[in-house]
C-alpha cells in the first residue's frame, strides 16, 4: 500500500501501538456537512495525531511551487507558506504515494526533516482524477515504525480530507458565481448542483468503503485461522468421509474469501490510470485470453469489427476486468458448442465507441433484468451478485454506459465508451 522511499535499521525495540481499527469509529463519525472546512480539517489532524501518537500533524495544499499549511495540531502564524522545492512534501506529491521515515538519523537526507523530529509519515491528498493536491504529514520526536495497517487508515483520513476540500472549493465557486452573475448563473446552477451531489455521493461511498474495510478485516483474520485449522485437519484425518467433509469446508472458506475481496473491490473508489488504446485490438487480446477460461471450454467466440481504429481513453486493467467478467457470464449462459458473438462499432451513439456481447442463452426474467447491476443480485445459484455491479461502477467512472437487454433470442450486453476525441475524463 505504501511506497517506502527511505529505509531504516531494525525497529524491534520500538514501542507497540494501539489496534489500528479502533480509530475507524472516529473516522466514520466525521461528517463534512456545515462547510466549515477549518473545523473539519482540525478534527482530521487531531484524529491522525491521536491515532499514530504523533507530536505534530498538518494538512498542506500545494499550488505551483508553493505549499500552504491549512490545518495543524500546533498553533502557527497566519503566514504559514513555504517553497515546495527540495522538501518531503515535494517527495510525497511527486511520487503520489506515502513517504515513510522511521528514523531520520539513519538517512542521507535527514536535513529534510525539521529539527527536533526524527520520524515522519507523509500521505498524498488525491482528488477524483488522481491528481495530488496536497498532503497529510505527521512528525514524531522519537523514531517510529509505521505498520501497513496504520498507513491504510491514514490513507482513509486523506481520502476524506480530499473530498472535503473539493466540496469546499465547489461551494466557494458557487458563491462567487452567485455574487457576480445574474441570469447566466441560473444556467450553471443545475450543473454545479449535480457536481456537488456527485462529490457528496463519493463521500458517502468513501464512508461505506471505510466501514467495509473494517468489517472485511475483522472477518478475514478469524477466517485465516479457520483455513489453517482445516489444512491441519486434512493432514491428520485420513478417512474418505473426513476428507470429503474437509474438502467441502475448505471450498466454502475459499468462496468466502473471494466474496470478501469482491466486496472490497466494489466499495473502494474507482481511481483510473488512463491511457490511450485501440478498443478493437484490446478486445481482440481479451478474447484470446478468455479462451483459456474453464467457462469457455467447448464454447466459441465470433468477433466482428470494422476496419478502423477505435481510440478510447481507458484504464487497461479495469477495462480488462469488465470484458472478462462479461464474457465469462456469456459462456456460463450457453450450452456446449454454442457461440458468443462480439462486435465493436462507432455509429450507434455519436461520440462513443460501442462494444456488444451477445449470447443465445435463456432470457433473463424481466423482474430481475433491471437489478442485475445492483449489488448482490445474481441469476447464478453460487453467484455473489457483485461482478456486474463492479463492472457498472468501472464503466461509469469512464463516463460510459453499461446496458443489458434480454429476450428469447438471447442476452445482449452493451458497453459504450467515449471516443478519444470526445473524451472528457482528463
Q: What is the pLDDT of residues 57-75, one digit of tens each?
A: 999 998 888 889 999 999 8
Stretch 289-297: mean pLDDT: 84
Show the cell assigned to 336: 456446449
Report the alpha-carbon distance of residue 23 to residue 14 in Å, rounded.
21
What's the predicted TM-score (pTM) here? 0.43
pLDDT cut 70: percent of the chain above it: 73
pLDDT band, very low/low/confident/very high, at 23 (cuts 50, 70, 90): low
> Are 416 and 401 contacting, i.e. CB atoms less than 8 angstroms apart?
yes
- The helix-helix angle for 279-290 and 316-333 (nearest 10°) equals 50
Report the alpha-carbon distance of residue 376 to residue 382 in Å, rounded.
11
pLDDT for residue 65: 84
**Higher local confidence (pLDDT), 167 or 79:** 167
> For residue 182, how many C-alpha atoms fall within 13 Å in the half-sphere facing its CB?
0
Q: Per-residue pLDDT for 289 more than 90?
A: no
pLDDT for residue 13: 36
pLDDT for residue 229: 80
pLDDT for residue 140: 95
Report the alpha-carbon distance of residue 366 to residue 354 in Å, rounded.
24
DSSP E strands in 49-142: the ranges are: 56-63, 66-72, 81-83, 99-101, 119-126, 132-140
pLDDT for residue 247: 80
Whole-angstrom CA distances from 207 to 18, 101, 373 are 22, 29, 21
Stretch 74-94: mean pLDDT: 83
Report the alpha-carbon distance of residue 125 to residue 245 in Å, rounded.
49
Q: 38-52, 53-67, 74-88: lowest mean pLDDT where? A: 74-88
Question: Reading across the β-sheet that carries 132-140, which strands appear in turn?
Answer: 81-83, 66-72, 56-63, 132-140, 119-126, 99-101
Task: Count the helix, strand and coil residues of the chain and give each as a percent rounded to the nearest 5.
Answer: 50, 20, 30
What tens digit of pLDDT does each residue of 96-137 get?
Answer: 999 999 998 887 656 788 888 999 999 999 987 788 999 999
pLDDT for residue 142: 94
> For residue 346, how many C-alpha atoms fall within 13 Å in the half-sphere facing its CB?
16
pLDDT for residue 124: 95
Report the alpha-carbon distance of residue 358 to residue 129 in Å, rounded.
33
Show the cell assigned to 389: 455491479
> Are 344 and 310 contacting, i.e. CB atoms less than 8 angstroms apart?
yes
Show the cell assigned to 354: 460501442
Q: Per-residue pLDDT for 327 more than 80?
A: yes
Stretch 338-366: mean pLDDT: 87
> What does the mean pLDDT of the chain come to?
78
Amino acid at each position: 500500500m505504501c511506497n517506502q522511499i527511505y529505509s531504516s535499521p531494525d525497529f524491534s525495540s520500538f514501542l507497540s501501538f494501539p489496534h489500528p481499527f479502533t480509530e475507524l469509529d472516529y473516522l466514520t463519525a466525521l461528517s463534512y456537512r456545515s462547510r466549515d472546512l477549518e473545523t473539519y480539517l482540525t478534527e482530521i489532524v487531531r484524529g491522525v495525531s491521536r491515532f499514530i501518537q504523533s507530536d505534530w500533524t498538518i494538512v498542506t495544499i500545494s499550488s505551483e511551487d508553493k505549499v500552504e499549511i491549512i490545518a495543524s495540531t500546533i498553533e502557527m502564524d497566519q503566514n504559514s507558506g513555504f517553497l515546495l522545492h527540495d522538501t518531503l512534501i515535494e517527495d510525497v506529491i511527486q511520487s503520489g504515494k506515502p513517504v515513510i521515515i522511521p528514523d531520520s538519523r539513519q538517512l542521507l537526507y535527514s536535513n529534510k526533516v525539521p529539527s527536533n523530529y526524527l520520524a515522519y509519515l507523509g500521505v498524498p491528498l488525491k482528488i477524483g482524477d488522481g491528481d495530488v493536491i496536497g498532503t497529510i504529514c505527521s512528525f514524531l520526536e522519537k523514531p517510529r515504525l509505521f505498520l501497513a495497517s496504520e498507513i491504510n487508515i491514514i490513507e482513509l483520513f486523506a481520502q476524506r480530507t480530499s473530498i472535503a476540500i473539493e466540496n469546499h472549493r465547489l461551494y466557494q465557486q458557487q458563491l462567487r458565481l452567485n455574487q457576480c452573475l445574474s441570469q447566466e448563473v441560473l444556467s450553471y446552477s443545475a450543473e454545479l448542483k449535480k457536481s456537488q451531489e456527485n462529490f457528496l455521493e463519493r463521500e458517502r461511498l468513501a464512508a461505506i468503503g471505510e466501514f467495509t474495510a473494517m468489517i472485511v478485516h475483522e472477518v478475514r483474520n478469524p477466517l485465516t485461522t479457520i483455513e489453517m485449522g482445516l489444512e491441519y485437519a486434512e493432514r491428520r484425518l485420513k478417512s474418505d468421509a473426513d476428507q470429503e467433509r474437509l474438502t467441502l469446508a475448505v471450498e466454502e472458506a475459499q468462496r468466502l474469501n473471494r466474496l470478501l475481496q469482491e466486496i472490497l473491490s466494489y466499495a473502494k473508489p474507482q481511481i483510473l490510470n488512463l491511457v490511450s488504446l485501440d478498443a478493437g485490438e484490446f478486445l481482440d487480446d481479451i478474447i484470446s485470453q478468455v479462451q483459456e477460461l474453464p467457462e469457455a471450454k467447448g464454447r466459441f467466440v465470433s468477433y466482428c469489427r470494422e476496419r478502423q481504429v477505435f481510440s478510447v481513453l481507458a484504464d487497461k486493467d479495469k477495462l480488462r476486468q469488465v470484458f472478462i467478467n462479461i464474457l465469462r457470464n456469456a459462456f456460463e449462459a450457453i450450452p456446449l458448442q454454442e457461440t458468443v458473438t462480439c462486435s465493436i462499432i462507432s455509429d450507434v451513439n455519436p461520440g462513443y465507441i460501442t462494444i456488444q456481447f451477445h449470447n443465445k442463452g435463456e432470457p433473463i426474467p424481466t423482474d430481475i433484468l433491471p437489478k442485475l447491476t445492483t449489488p448482490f443480485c445474481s441469476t447464478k445459484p453460487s453467484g455473489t451478485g457483485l461482478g456486474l455491479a463492479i463492472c457498472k461502477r468501472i464503466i461509469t467512472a469512464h463516463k460510459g454506459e453499461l446496458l443489458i437487454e434480454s429476450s428469447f433470442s438471447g442476452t445482449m450486453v452493451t458497453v459504450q465508451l467515449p471516443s478519444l476525441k470526445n473524451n472528457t475524463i482528463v
